[in-house]
């Protein structure tokens, strides 16, 4: 269950940050409302590819909330991939995971790290997933900062 952790000083009855503790994994899924978007992130931060592993429950909560919220507001789910093995090239990359109602959530579009983590025990090779995990262990991400996070933006009518 998400619990409110921060309220606007000018509106003490309006929570803008929530968190859900996942004690089994030692993680927290944070949610915040900012500039018309709902932003999620996982703590501790994912700063190298190997950090995805062991965060299966956190990733499940993260993507379920993303999909449910975006579907309700006809929104877009964007994952910011910041680590080697999840992004193409040196710069962070925005992965469009869903855009409701036209493009429903699909795990083929999430970063390799979370895709591999969510399919652990399901026979990842059977799902055609190639893992850059070994390559990344030898070559950690330099300058990768923070979490990949999801940003939902309400679609505007033309």
Q: What percent of the chain has pLDDT over 90?
A: 55
Spell out the residues 6+ positions from residue 26 whose beta carbon is closer than 8 angstroms to its own: 44
Band of residue 121 on the pLDDT scale cut at 50, 70, 90: low
pLDDT digits (tens, 9 = 90+) for 21-32: 999 999 999 999
Query: Which residue in this structure is represented by tokens 């993680």?
Result: 27
Per-domain residue ranges of the chain: 3-154
Cα–Cα distances (Å) from 21 to 25, 42, 62, 97, 114, in that order, read 9, 10, 12, 24, 18
Residue with more model confidence, 89 or 41: 41
pLDDT in tens, 90-101: 888 899 999 999
pLDDT at 88 > cutoff 60: yes
Tell me what percent of the residues of the chain surpass a pLDDT of 70.
Answer: 76
| Residue 110, φ and ψ in degrees, nearest 5 | -80, 165
Residues 131-143 have pLDDT tens digits of 443 333 322 333 3
pLDDT recorded at residue 36: 81
Residues paired with residue 98 on neighbouring β-strands, in sequence order = 77
* pLDDT of res. 107: 84
């Amino acid at each position: 269950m998400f619990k409110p952790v921060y309220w606007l000083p000018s509106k003490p009855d309006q929570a803008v940050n929530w968190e859900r503790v996942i004690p089994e994994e030692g993680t927290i899924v944070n949610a915040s409302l900012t500039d018309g978007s709902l932003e999620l992130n996982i703590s501790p931060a994912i700063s190298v590819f190997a950090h995805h592993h062991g965060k299966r429950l956190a990733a499940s909560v993260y993507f379920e909330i993303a999909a449910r919220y975006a579907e309700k507001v006809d929104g877009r789910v964007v994952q910011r991939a910041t680590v080697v093995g999840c992004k193409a090239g040196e710069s962070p990359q925005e992965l469009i995971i869903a855009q409701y109602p036209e493009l429903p959530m699909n795990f083929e579009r999430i970063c390799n790290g979370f895709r591999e983590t969510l399919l652990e025990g399901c026979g990842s090779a059977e799902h055609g997933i190639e893992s850059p995990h070994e390559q990344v262990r030898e070559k950690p991400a330099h300058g990768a900062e923070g979490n990949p996070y999801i940003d939902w933006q309400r679609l505007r009518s033309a």
